[in-house]
Structure 1
Amino acid sequence: MASLTARWHRSIHEIPQSQWEDLLAQQVSPFYRWSWLEALEHSGSVAPDQGWQPLHLSLWRGEESLIAIAPLYLKGHSYGEFIFDQSFARLAGDLGLRYYPKLIGMSPVSPVQGYRFHIHPDEDAQDITVMMLRLIDEFAARNNILSCNFLYVDPLWQPLAEAAGCAAWVNHQSLWSAEEQKDFSDYLASFNANQRRNIKRERKAVNQSGLVVTPLTGPELTPELLERMHSFYEQHCARWGPWGSKYLQSTFFDRLVDPALARHVVLFSAHRGDPVEPVAMSLCIQDESHLWGRYWGSEEEIDCLHFEVCYYAPIEWALRRGLHSFDPGAGGSHKRRRGFVAQARTSLHRWYDPRMDGLIRSWLPRANGLMEEEIEAINDELPFRSKPPELMA
């Protein structure tokens, strides 16, 4: 049997696209495909000068056979993760420890569930997970790195990583699920009478402005449309000043017309004439079962337009396509009134200072319990929110 060799990669270009893709199961989301991650790197959206150093770990049997990949990044900050670890950073400071850089496993700037080590199906997934975590631990020790963090993990991979010593931290996000709904009328029927009236009123407000929303995907996408989408994205981020979360370069949007990416991209164009001349637009990502909302922007202030372009039109389209779920993106309590329920999302962590590791692991059971209560309260529409306990040194 050929021996195993580990390699660290400062760019995804060091791993052949065909071999990367061969390891990925069919159900892996577009956010972990080689073409998506490569577009982030190629565009400079994910780069050392942006605080994201690609540092992918691969495992090879012999010289030629790739058997496992851990997509990883060395981070100099916590932006673009949407898992808020300020308490951990403060604790590190209290203990006299340097919190950054840290290792992160996720699809950059995309808070979407699905992170895992991608392992060849003929290999023992538990053994390979343990081996790769040991390699990560050794790398962290050599380079004085305090932590390794896997965000939005795949629930099927989570037990393997927890069995190998990772600590679980529970947060939540919003998700719409089709369940038994077949069309938008079924979606409306899932609400009480008052909320049905609200949704109809909101859609009517957009219709009365003269706007029509048209979904565009695949070969319907053009460089001009993606350039326009980048402009909307840039304008929307600018409205929020230093908190605008503007992470993506224009050249990333340019790459979205490539066929490997365009088949996953859906633009919802709000227009009065030609769909390629939008007044507002949202960008979503799809696969065969799911839809993810990512970015939007508008050049006019129109009542309820955000709800139409970012929620109602995508849900209506998802139902027509027979998709199972729609993740609208991070944040926004207003999502809950529009059919999105709170669902637990787990991140897994390893801390390499014994004091910090012990303190956080003793805090997590209570924090996770309170988060589970909060999720239940949100979904029951109770008028309170639980806060996790303070993490003290």
Structure 2
Amino acid sequence: MAPCYGKSHSLGEYVFDHGWAEAFERAGGRYYPKLQVAVPFTPATGRRLLVRPGPGAETARRGLVAGLRALRREIDASSVHVTFLPQEEWHFLAEEGFLLRTDRQFHWANEGYQTFEDFLAALSARKRKAIRRERRDALAAGITVELLTGSDLTEAHWDAFFAFYQDTGSRKWGRPYLPRAFFSLVGERMADRILLVMARRDGRYIAGALNFIGESTLYGRNWGAIEHHPFLHFELCYYQAIDFAIRHGLARVEAGAQGEHKLARGYRPTLTYSAHDIAHPGLRRAVADYLERERAAIAAEVEVLAEELPYRHSGTGDA
């Protein structure tokens, strides 16, 4: 099995192929529909070719690839895109003729810390002071923070969070895509896997960050606010997530896509992987050439970014 969607656009994917579509259509081609193998609106890595481990797994995966290509032909789609897959599946799809793409996110790694102060102790003195100052200033206006999960979550919390999501999404992205009903549904069906971090001031909620709790990873997904306060975004999305992960023994925090500002907060540049099967020979050659250069650029960028991490043993940070 593979989670597969026929799409007439490239919105909500976090692996951007708009340029490929525009170039192909300017040349007279038809890029849409395309097939997308992914978890919708979720830039989190996970298995995409869902086969039972064992002696027949390789054959089953090849069968899935053949099925995807047959479906592409059946609906006259231009391409198949498998996004945010594990590196092992990425290499397998390369053997099957898919084109390989990389990108980078920023993930925090738990190095066996027992407390948030243990994490701070691993940073350079300058960065420790900066984070302590940011956390203090974030709450300076009389703001308090609540962490909500399980039965603590109510429709009133989702009403407030949806207002934050709509306001911030409209200003930053232009099209918030999740309806209000989505939040009630996840609250009903997976409340114990949700961490909602909410900020309150003068008796009302003013900002929040939505996270999902995995077996070993905390996944940061959405953030919003109806009041601006310096560093409040960092406090709710990054520092509270780190603190929660430490207290609950989680190995990682994945704070969503993009954001070089996460480096200074201890989030490390981490490669993500996608694989693309394009039917038209001319478009395939052009994309293959582009991806070869892009992979080299991403690898070089990750090396440079790693030198800017705030940890005492990295870059030129002071002790």
Structure 2 equivalent of residue 356 of structure 1: 283
Deviations 1:242-286 (CA, angstroms, capped at 9, x unpaired): x3341101010111222x411111001212477xx5222111111
Taking structure 1 as the reference length, what is the TM-score of the superposition? 0.75
Question: Which of 202, 205, 212 is the aligned partner of 1:278?
Answer: 205
CA distance in structure 1 between the aligned counterparts of 2:65 and 2:281, rounded to whole angstroms: 17
- Name which structure has the greater RCO, CA cutoff 8 Å, separation 6+: 2
Q: Distance in 2 between matches of 1:235 and 1:156?
A: 39
> 1:335 maps to what in 2?
262
> Residue 141 of structure 1 corresponds to which residue in structure 2?
73
Aligned 1:75-86 pairs, distance under 5 A? 75-86=7-18
3-state SS in 2 of match to 1:93: helix
Asked if 1:172 corresponds to 2:110, the answer is no
Residue 307 (structure 2) aligned to one of 380, 385, 390 = 380
Aligned to 1:62: none
Unmatched 5+ residue regions in structure 2? Answer: 310-319
What is the DSSP-based 3-state SS (H/G/I as helix, E as strand, rest coil) of the residue aligned with 1:156? helix
How is 1:234-313 mapped onto 2 (pairs within 5 angstroms)? Answer: 234-240=166-172, 243-258=173-188, 260-272=189-201, 277-313=204-240
DSSP-derived class of the 1:91 partner: helix
Determine the C-alpha separation between the residues in 1 that align with 2:194 and 2:202.
22
After superposition, residues 212-251 of structure 1 pair within 5 angstroms as 212-240=144-172, 243-251=173-181
Aligned residue number for residue 210 of structure 1: 142
Equivalences, count: 309
The answer to whether the Cα contact below 8 Å between 1:115 and 1:150 also exists between their aligned partners in 2 is no
Task: State the secondary structure of the residue aligned to 1:70.
Answer: coil
**SS of alignment partner, residue 381 of structure 1:** coil
In the TM superposition, residue 123 of structure 1 has moved relative to its aligned partner by 6.1
Equivalents in 1 of 2:290, 2:141: separation in Å?
Answer: 51
| Structure 2 letter corresponding to 1:238 | S
Specify the alignment match of 2:23 in structure 1: 91
Q: Tell me the distance in 2 between the aligned counterparts of 1:98 and 1:83.
A: 19
Q: Is the 8 A contact 1:173 1:345 kept in 2?
A: yes
- SS of equivalent to 1:268: strand
Superposed CA RMSD: 1.8
Opposite residue 210 of structure 1, the aligned amino acid is G
| TM-score, normalisation: structure 2 | 0.91
Q: What is the alpha-carbon distance in structure 2 between the residues aligned to residue 320 and residue 143 of structure 1?
A: 49
2:4 and 2:36 in contact (8 A); partners too: yes
Contact 1:126 1:160 in 2 (8 A): no
Secondary structure of the structure 1 residue equivalent to 2:212: strand
When residues 320 and 273 of structure 1 are mapped into structure 2, their CA distance, relative to the original with a 3 A threshold, is: farther
One-letter amino acid of the structure 2 residue matched with residue 124 of structure 1: G
Q: Is the contact between residue 194 and residue 210 of structure 2 (CA under 8 Å) also seen in structure 1?
A: yes
Say whether residues 1:161 and 2:90 are aligned partners: no
Following superposition, the deviation at residue 143 of structure 1 comes to 2.2
Are 2:161 and 2:208, in contact at CA under 8 Å, matched by a contact in 1? yes
Partner in structure 2 of residue 185 of structure 1: 117
Q: For residue 118 of structure 2, what is the amino acid of its counterpart?
A: D
CA contact (8 A) 1:221 1:262 kept: yes
CA distance in 2 between partners of 1:196 and 1:244 (Å): 35
Q: Distance in 2 between matches of 1:70 and 1:221?
A: 32
Please, which runs of 5 or more residues in structure 1 have no aligned partner?
Answer: 1-68, 383-393
- CA distance in 1: counterparts of 2:267 and 2:174, whole angstroms: 23
Shift of 1:105: 0.9
Letter matched to residue 195 of structure 2? V
Structure 1 runs (4+) greater than 6 angstroms displaced: none
> Which of 36, 42, 56 is 1:124 aligned to?
56
Deviations 1:226-254 (A, max 9, x none): 222112111111223xx334110101011
Distance 1:305 1:367 in 2: 34
Percent identity over the alignment is 31
Q: Distance in 2 between matches of 1:244 and 1:186?
A: 39
Tell me the distance in 1 between the aligned counterparts of 2:66 and 2:215.
Answer: 35
